[in-house]
Amino acid sequence: MAGRLSAFLLLIAILVPLSPAASGSIAAADPCTSSVGPGIPPPANLPSGIPGFHAAWYGQSGYPTLCPGERSTATVAFYNTGTRGWVAGKMGEVAYLGTWDPDPGQDRATALGGDGSNGSPATGWPRYNRVAAQPAPWVGPNQVAWFQFSVIAPQIPGTYRLSIRPLVEGAQWMEDYGVFWYVTVPGTAPAGSLAPLPARWPSRSLEIGMTDGPDGAAAMRAAAPFAFRYQYLSGGVNTGNGWATWNSGAQFASYYIQDSVRNGLVPVFTYYQMLQSAPGNGLGEPAGDFANLQNTSTMTAYFADLRLLLQRAGAESPAKVVLHVEPDRWGYIEQRYGDDPASAPVRVAATGLSELAGLADNAVGFAGGILRLRDTYAPNVIVAYDLSEFGTNHDPFYEKPPDATLDAWSTRSATFFNALHANFDLVFGGFSDRDAAFKRYQRGDDRGWWYAEDFARQARYLARFSALTQKRIVLWQIPLGNTKMRAMNNTWNHYQDNTVEWFLDDAGRANLSAYVRAGVIAFLFGRGADGATCACDAAGDGVTNPAPIDGNTRTSLNADDDGGYFRDRAAAYYAAGKLALP
C-alpha cells in the first residue's frame, strides 16, 4: 500500500491548465487567472477480493479554476477490488469511466468534455459519455488504474460539475463512490448556466425543421424525419386578409395543426400581424408598428385575433404547438425605448378585453397579455419571444466587435428581455431572411457571407443571452442556398449561401455541437422573401442543372430550387443519429 500512496503524491500536481484550443477558444472579456486545487487522497482502507468486477475510488486530482475555453488534464485512480481483471479493448472486460448522475446524468453529454458528438466539445474522450478508458492493457485484482482525461471550461462564468462512475463496457456499472469534479469559470455568473428545456418541449435531441405550406406535411415527412414545420400567420388583424380569412370558419390554423399531427410533426406558427394591420400598414417599419401599438382599435382587433388563434390551437390539445410572436417587433421597441420596455406605450388593458384587465398599457403589458391569453385558452402552446440583435442599435455580425463589446451587447438584449417580466417558454433567433448571394446580386451587399468567426460570434452572443435569460433558443428562417449544386446559379430562386453546409455538411458535427452548447435546441430552415432559395420548386422550373459556377458541380437530386441539397443533408443528419441535448 505504501507504494500506491507514493505514486499518489505525484497525482496532486497532474491537473495543470493547458493553452486554450485555437479552434474553439474565445477570450474572456475580463482578466482571468487559472489555478488548481489540492489533490484528494485515497481512503485508508479498501475492500478486496469481491467476486466479479468491482472498483473502489482511490483518489483524484483537485478541482480547477479555468478561464473560458481553457483545457486541463484531470486524473482519477480506481483500485480493482474484484476478482476479475480489466482487459483493454475487450468488450465485456474493458474498464471505462462513464458520465453519471446528477450532472450531466447517466450516459449524458456534458459541456466539460467529449468527442465532439451529441453536443459535447471535442476534448479527446473515447465517446461523448465515456470520459476515459483504462490506461494499461491489464489491470488485475488489487491493482490501480490511473485514468486521465481532458476537460474544457465553458464560455459562461459559473461552477460546473462532472460526475463519473466506473464501468466494464458491455457488462456492468461498478460501484458508485460519488466521484465528481467542480470546474469553476471565474467572472460574474449569470443566474444559472445552461437553461433548462421548456417544460412542454417535445424532444431531448437537436431537431431540424423547415417552412412548409398547407397540406405539405406528408411530403415533408417522407423526405426526412423532420420534427417541425412552420408557417407564417399574417395579412393583418383588421384588413380582411388575415389568416382567419384563409379558410372558411377561420379554420386555417386548425387544419395546419391537424395535418402536422397526422404526420408526426410539431406545427410552428410565426405570428406576424402587427406590421400588416391598419392604419400602420401604410407607414413601413418601424413607424407602422408604433402607430398600431398605440391605436386602441387596432390593438383590440389584434388581441381578439390572437385569442382566436389560441382557441383554435387549444382545441387541438394535447397536440403541441409552437407560437413565435412578432419577429422584429421587440427589436424595434428596444431600439426606441432602450432597456426599459415599461416606457414603450402599447394599448393593452385599454382595449377593454376582459382577459387583459389590470395589465399595464406598455410593452410589459403587451408581453403579459400574450402569455395570459395562452394560459387561458391554450396551455398546449409553447410561446416564443423573438430575439432581434439590432434592438441594441448595433449589428454584431456586420460590425464584428471585440468579445468584450459583443458580450455587452448580448447582455443588453438579455436585460431588455428580462425587463419584460414575461415567462416566455423559449426564444427564437435567426440569421438573414435572404441568401448571401441574393444580397450580393439584388442589393449590392457583399457582407452577407458568413465565415467561421461569424458563426463563433453568433454562438457566443446566443450563449450569453441564453444563460442570462435562462431560455433555450430555436434558430429560425435559416437561408437555404448552397454552393454545391449546379442548380445554384445565382438567379431568382437559386441563390447561393453557405449556412446549410456549415451545419449539415460537417462530418464531425463540431459546428452543430457549438450551437447546442450555446443553448440552441432546433434549427428551422426557410426563406423570408420571394426570390430567395427554397427547398421546393418555387421557381416552377423543375430539375435544373445549368453550367457550374464557382465549383458547384453536383447534379440536382430533384426539382427543389436548391437542387435537393437541404432535404438530402437533413435526411443524412437523422440517419447518422440526432445530437442529444445537454
Range among 58-72, 144-158, 381-395 rated most confident? 381-395
- Domains of the chain (ranges; CATH) run 2-185 (2.60.40.10), 207-576 (3.20.20.80)
Q: Tens digit of pLDDT for each residue in 411-432?
A: 999 999 999 999 999 999 998 8
Residue 335: predicted pLDDT: 95
Chain-wide mean pLDDT for the chain?
Answer: 91
Which cell is 248 given? 372558411
Average pLDDT value for residue range 437-464: 92
Query: Residue 15 pLDDT more than 70?
Result: no
What's the whole-number mean pLDDT along residues 296-314?
Answer: 99
* Signed CA dihedral, 440, 445, 448, 454: sign only: positive
Compute the average pLDDT of residues 474-503.
Answer: 97
| Contact (CB, 8 A) for 22 and 48 | no
Give the pLDDT band of residue 31 (cuts 50, 70, 90). low
Give the whole-angstrom CA distance, residue 565 versus residue 582: 28
Residue 16 has what pLDDT?
Answer: 37
0.85 surpassed by pTM:
no
pLDDT tier for residue 29 given thresholds of 50, 70 and 90? very low
**Which one has a higher pLDDT value, 323 or 24?**
323
The predicted pLDDT at position 12 comes to: 33
Q: Give the pLDDT confidence of 234-255 residue by residue, as tens digits.
A: 999 999 999 999 999 999 999 9
Q: Identify the weakest region by mean pLDDT among 30-39, 85-94, 346-355, 381-390.
A: 30-39
- Distance from C-alpha of 71 to C-alpha of 125, rounded to nearest angstrom: 13
Confidence bin at 151 (pLDDT 50/70/90)? very high
The pLDDT tens digits for 268-294 are 999 999 999 999 999 999 999 999 999
Extended beta strands in 465-550, E state: 473-478, 520-525
Q: Give all strands (DSSP E) within 81-141, no chain letters.
A: 86-87, 95-99, 130-133, 138-139
Top mean-pLDDT range of 12-16, 503-507, 569-573? 569-573
Q: Is 90 exceeded by the pLDDT of residue 202?
A: yes
Return the pLDDT at 459. 93
Distance between CA atoms of residues 88 and 107, nearest Å: 20
pLDDT exceeds cutoff 50 at 209: yes
- Are the C-beta atoms of 150 and 73 separated by less than 8 Å? yes
How would residue 23 be classed by pLDDT, with cut points 50, 70 and 90? very low
Instruction: Please check the confidence at residue 79 and state whether its pLDDT lies above 70.
Output: yes
- Give pLDDT, residue 34: 86
Q: What is the pLDDT of residue 496?
A: 97
Grid cell at residue 87: 482487459
pLDDT tens-digit map of 129-148: 999 999 999 999 999 999 99
Give the ranges where 182-285 is alpha helix by DSSP (H). 217-223, 252-262
The CA-atom distances, in angstroms, between 437 and each of 397, 495, 552, 559, 569 are 17, 5, 14, 20, 21
What's the confidence (pLDDT) of residue 24? 32
- DSSP-derived letter for residue 84 is S
Average of per-residue pLDDT across 466-492: 97
